[in-house]
A and B are shown apart, each in its own frame.
Chain A
Amino acid sequence: MIKLAGSLQTGNSDWLFKQVELELYSGGWTCLLGPSGVGKTTILRLLAGLETHGTFKGELKTQTCSYMAQQDLLLPWLNVIGNVTLGAKLRGEKIDQERAKALIEQVGLSEHATKFPRQLSGGMRQRVSLARTLMEDQDLVLLDEPFSALDAKKRADMQELAHELLSGKTVMLVTHDPAEAARLGDKNEIMDATGIQQMPAKKKKTILAPEAAETLKLQSNLLVALRKEAA
């Protein structure tokens, strides 16, 4: 069970957030929405064990994770295989080339395995980043707006690919896009200055089609709630 409850103090009398409570949906997707600057990324960084600009007080139950950010964070001097196998190299472990190749194939980049990031489009780079995330094989996967820089078609494709390849894992997705949360979230949460509030989410574990009535209903629900929070 991945859980966070507490506050984050950034100065003597400044808090980024107070009394926030979040529990991730085990073995499925939790989407965290909310206005910019409210601390969504900070929540994700706390769960990832990364440093934050402040002191967290409260309860934090997490585990080792794999992490994917908005920037693909591909090392420019390594080719696709090199980037996918980065984790093992950094830990000084034996590199499982076969598994890396299989994952690169799953994300549809077999032909580009020896290319460098510069030679790839934004969408391809994000797929390499996804393969690298899968290569880590962690049960907890933290995604910080990884699809937000992609165009609409690529974003929808990436959502489906990620949903398929990350099935069974506990995933947290920080996003600004209500449509994305509606499609993917088994649990949707909206964060604002007062805390985190749970919102309705899809019933089945499969990903929803972008045009499905349920998606559109959830999406408008989320959008209305987000606009209310912002007001």
Chain B
Amino acid sequence: MNRLGWIILSCCFAIGLWQALVTLTGVPHFILPAPKQVLDTLIKSHELIAWHALITISEVLIGLALGALLGALTALHLMVSATSRRLLMPILVFSQAIPVFALAPVLTLWLGYGIWSKVFMAVLITYFPVASNFLDGLRGTDKGFLDLATTMRAGRWQTLLQIRLPAALPSLASGLKLAAVYAPIGAIIGEWVGASDGLGYLMLLANGRAKIDLMFASLFVLATFTVLLHSVISYFANWLTRRAKGETKELLENA
């Protein structure tokens, strides 16, 4: 059986387990709804869920893109400037010591209840893993490559762009994979603290009104999206890594 087959089987197994738990324990539907009930709600309320999902997905994607871009640019800048590195690294590390949860109310205060406070949360939470991983990669270039570039009389910028940068792509890729996991967390935290749209908001609302089936349906959509996001980013990240190591598709076919 191929990988996809196993994934489908695994999903069926999880749903079976869930149904068995509901049937065997007789737990009331307002504590744990049955899979069928969640599916019904998902179909019945699909417009409502889709609207809120669209908001959350936008927050996550914009946040991830901005966070990754800013993180990568910061890493490049810190690589080039030793002064910036000494000045900014302590601030960056300190900023990571603050739990992002604690910042959410402040961001809501400053940026309001709209999507931007959530986008900013996602930026904050994705920025550091990208910047830190990429900077480690840029600074960890094989000394031999740098010696070679020196004897070839390469300029500083050429060395950065043509040797350090491509050699650091696998590190950038691991930063991106982490960021893809973190970004939805940032957006949802933001929505919990104060929002009028988004899946995080919908889940809190449904919970407050004892519409547990709607809460589970929202959770299911959120989980599906995060898994998809992670798969897409991983695919891209693995491609970057293979490219940097000279393991192209063509190579694998020849091997």
Taking beta carbons and an 8 Å cutoff, which residues of A are in contact with B?
45, 48-50, 64-67, 69, 71, 73, 75-79, 86-87, 89-92, 115-119, 136, 142
Contact = CB atoms under 8 A, between A and B. Distances in A.
Nearest to B150: A50
Contact of B152 (A79, A91, A119, A142): A91
B8 interface: no
Contacts of B154: 90-91
A73 B244 CA distance: 14
B219 to A, nearest CB: 41
Contacts, number: 80
B153 A67 contact: no
A47 to B, nearest CB: 10
Interface stretch (B52-60, B81-89, B159-167): B159-167
Interface stretch (B71-79, B141-149, B182-190, B205-213): B141-149
Contacts of B152: 66, 86-87, 90-91, 136
A38 to B, nearest CB: 20
Contacts of A73: 142, 144-145, 147-148
Contacts of A48: 147, 150-151
B248 interface: yes
B246 interface: yes
B248 A69 contact: no
Contacts of B159: 90
Nearest to B153: A91
Most buried by B among A86, A115, A117: A86
A49 B246 contact: no
B162 A90 contact: yes
Contacts of B247: 116, 118
A118 B167 CA distance: 15
Main DSSP-derived SS at the B contact region: helix
A111 B151 CA distance: 29
Contacts of B163: 75, 90
B254 interface: yes
A91 B152 CA distance: 8
A71 B166 contact: no
Contacts of A71: 144
Interface string B152-183: 11110011001100110100000000000000
B144 A116 contact: no
B152 to A, nearest CB: 4
B46 interface: no
Nearest to A70: B144
A73 B243 CA distance: 17
Contacts of A45: 147
Contacts of A89: 158, 162
Q: What are the nearest 7 A-B pairs in CB distance?
A: A116-B246, A90-B154, A76-B246, A67-B151, A87-B152, A90-B158, A73-B144
Nearest to B247: A118
A69 B155 contact: no
A117 B142 CA distance: 16
